[in-house]
Amino acid sequence: MAERSFKKEVEYLRLGEGDTFHGEGILAITKALLQCGVGYVGGYQGAPISHLMDVLSDAQDVLGELGVRFEANASEAAAAAMLAASVHYPIRGAITFKSPVGTNVASDALANLASGGVTGGALIIVGEDYGEGSSIMQERIHPFAMKSQIWLLDPRPNLPSIVRAVETGFELSEISNTPVMLEVRIRSCHVYGSFETKDNKKPPLSVKDALDNPMRDTSRIVLPPASYLHEHEKIEKRWPAAVEYITKNKLNEFFGPKTGKVGIVMQGGMYNGVIRALQRLGLADVYGESDVPLYVLNVTYPLCDDEFLSFCEGLDSVLVVEEGQPEFIEQAMRSILHKSDLTTKLAGKGVLPMAGEYTGEIMLNSITAYLKANCPELLSASSRSPNRQVEIAGLEKLAKTVPPRPPGFCTGCPERPIFAAMKLVENEHGPHQIASDIGCHLFSIMPPFELGGTTMGFGLGPASNAAFDGGGKRRPISFMGDGGFWHNGLSTSIGNAVYNRSDGVIVIVDNFYSAATGGQDVLSSRAENPSKSTNHPIKKALEGVGVEWVRQIDNTYDVSAMRATLEEALTTDHKGPKVIVASSECMLNKQRREKPLQRKDIQNGIRTTKPRFGVDEEVCTGDHACMRLSGCPSLTIKKLDDPLRDDPIAHIDQSCVGCGNCGEVADAAVLCPSFYKAEIIHNPSKLESFIAGLRGGIINWLQNRRSRSRLEFGNN
């Protein structure tokens, strides 16, 4: 159950010649694939392109009508291996995943694909997850493209440019027999706009047709001596063919005047930021007409030397806007200028920050500084206006005022009680060596739990603890999610632990979905998926690879049971890995499924109950130990009106989903008994309404009676 359904939007994919598409970048990419006659698509979900997989999944009827094969792959490596269908057959294929981690996983298949080359167009759509909106390490896809000599497209963030990049990407791949990467940033994926559509095309050769007529060419297989020739072929044939196609079809774009004193070269994905900065300086209008010559690299690799030198001719200086580090494009352009007779100076990193996302403020300040140093006469008065100084001061003040907010579990998350139980275990047995993993459970490293010291990759939590599995005083503990388990963990972590007779404890956090990427189904999901095979228990897979000590917990909110199972795993005499499968449904997905049904029942007059939890103000002592073992966003503090009680007490706000974790934690840790459970009843029976009215009347009478006898402090 993905976090968002595209059932309605996918109907726009049926638009034909002369129609106008309105929507966001992800849907535009999907429509472009269909217009290009793609034969098969696959991928693995992950920000910022998670929605592309969700769109493809919801569009399976449209894909089926065209004979397009869709595969929701088990990992990025599986997705990249799919492109083997384009090695010998003239079939266009596309895959998608986020970068750089997805590319790291897929690197083996991609390197082999790039070596042997392709016959059909092979397009790799990577989400450039760089900057402060990212949840991963800060790296770029550019060096991988350079390393394997895969051509890299970085289109301007608007729908016509993105659609054209898909079309030309396939053509570039076929003409140069090279796979092509299409890099899209978060802003590109979710930018809204329009473009003129074309008819969808059935693939000229479908995968079914190819299956009936198998082909092979040993010169495309990466084995000696063919593999030695592939490198020469890249340089002598594929690269020149790519450069010729890029320049002939004008994939890179020029804007602004043809002459001037200074110019700006940029990645296509940086175009909107550059134009916005120039607009604020009075050097461009809202339509993108610029007073500064601009060279937009919709293809960032390979670079076209003659095209770049032509742009630099007559300019005193050029600024290279390249987000991220190292400065690969800037270094290459310096080399091109050095080998030429031009005296144009090049600026880039230094004027612009070496690392970090190029936000609007950074882009404006950097371009302003560059123009002041190299062409001050271009600057308009608006760049030195009081309003500009007020804007900068306001941003700096905001950054100092707003407190940092560390990431944490959602309200009602079933993973929170697992780590509350772990804290209770450590309180008794002392601190343990704990390895974390990629997924929602990684938030356990943050307050209030502060558990886990490393995270090495998806499904690698237990493997990363292998070095500590040496019979120490305490057993190492590692965590892994169900998504990571099926992605990579079963073989790399669990199989490794069984083979090496690990004595560690492994906790598999099973929330029924690949939750961190948007709630997509996995093999062990409990839901019935009409197009995929689900309901394959993790416990059976563990036993199948040789794990003998397995404990299944089907209600993680039972903190006492979770605590007891952890203690058993840490103290048992069993030799070999101890694996706990802690299962409860992701609360976000549960609420997405149940809330619409509840609303419908309420509207139809059906009796419906909703559990809610609260804190008794008279009982709560205000020590807040419950918060230190929970961290739930709905559990906060409240200041009492009672002048004799200065300390704020615990309070549960309206965002509570009634999971009961706060009460369970208080009970398991033997804290105060101030938590209570109540049920909100919609459409109650007549008897329930009468009893509620009677209770309310008695309570009001007792409260009024008490308040009359309460000692009050007046002004006299």
Q: Which of 151-165, 237-251, 606-620 has the lowest mean pLDDT?
A: 606-620
Domain end call among 347, 378, 401: 401
Structure tokens at 160: 């016509």
Same-domain check for residues 244 and 257: no
The three-class DSSP label of residue 23 is strand
CA dist., res. 298 & res. 300, Å (int): 6
CATH code at position 389: 3.40.50.920
CA dist., res. 271 & res. 282, Å (int): 16
Structure tokens at 424: 């209770």
Q: Is the model more confident about 581 or about 398?
A: 581
Taking only the tens place, the pLDDT of each residue in 91-111 is 999 999 998 889 999 999 999
Same-domain check for residues 135 and 85: yes
594 falls within a domain: no
Helix (H) or strand (E) holding 211: helix 207-212
CA dist., res. 509 & res. 554, Å (int): 11
Q: Which residues contact 8 (CB under 8 A, 6 or more apart)?
A: none
CA dist., res. 453 & res. 455, Å (int): 7
206 falls within a domain: no
- Do residues 49 and 97 touch, judged by C-beta distance below 8 A? yes
What's the structural domain count of the chain?
A: 4
Mean pLDDT of 459-474: 86
Same-domain check for residues 539 and 578: yes
- Do residues 262 and 371 touch, judged by C-beta distance below 8 A? yes
- Do residues 157 and 187 touch, judged by C-beta distance below 8 A? yes
408 falls within a domain: no
Same-domain check for residues 498 and 470: yes
CATH code at position 674: 3.30.70
Same-domain check for residues 585 and 449: yes
Same-domain check for residues 295 and 225: no
Same-domain check for residues 365 and 423: no
The number of beta carbons lying within 10 Å of the beta carbon of residue 256 is 19
Please report which residue ranges of 36-93 form alpha helices under DSSP H: 50-58, 60-66, 76-82, 85-88
7 falls within a domain: no
153 falls within a domain: yes
Same-domain check for residues 232 and 275: no
Task: Check residue 648 and report its DSSP letter.
Answer: P
Three-state SS across 410-438?
A: CCCCCCHHHHHHHHHHHHHHCCCCEECCC
597 falls within a domain: no
Domain end call among 559, 589, 619: 589
340 falls within a domain: yes
N residues, the chain: 716
CA dist., res. 37 & res. 170, Å (int): 10
* Average pLDDT of the chain, as a whole number: 90
Q: Which of 231-245, 507-521, 655-669 has the lowest mean pLDDT?
A: 655-669
Q: Where are the beta strands (DSSP E) in 218-261?
A: 253-255
- Which domain, by its residues, includes 441? 416-589
Structure tokens at 405: 């907010």
Q: Is the pLDDT assigned to residue 133 strictly greater than 80? A: no
CA dist., res. 286 & res. 363, Å (int): 17
Q: At what angle do helices 25-35 and 159-176 cross, to 10 degrees?
A: 40
- For 84, half-sphere exposure in the C-beta direction (CA atoms, 13 angstrom radius) is 16
CATH code at position 138: 3.40.50.970
Same-domain check for residues 451 and 390: no
Mean pLDDT of 688-699: 90
Q: Is the pLDDT assigned to residue 714 strictly greater than 70? A: no
CA dist., res. 188 & res. 24, Å (int): 8
CA dist., res. 478 & res. 658, Å (int): 29
What is the rounded end-to-end Cα distance, in angstroms, of the chain?
64
The three-class DSSP label of residue 515 is helix
pLDDT band per the 50, 70, 90 thresholds, residue 715: low
Same-domain check for residues 619 and 498: no
Structure tokens at 456: 């090495």
Predicted pLDDT at 188: 85
Same-domain check for residues 626 and 648: yes
Please report which residue ranges of 402-523 form alpha helices under DSSP H: 416-429, 461-464, 482-484, 496-499
Taking only the tens place, the pLDDT of each residue in 378-437 is 886 444 344 454 455 566 676 677 777 778 888 889 999 999 999 999 988 889 999 999
Same-domain check for residues 658 and 569: no
Structure tokens at 385: 């206006």
Phi-psi region of 157 (alpha: psi -120 to 50; beta: other; left: phi over 0): beta
CA dist., res. 620 & res. 513, Å (int): 37
451 falls within a domain: yes
Mean pLDDT of 227-247: 96
Structure tokens at 360: 């609007």
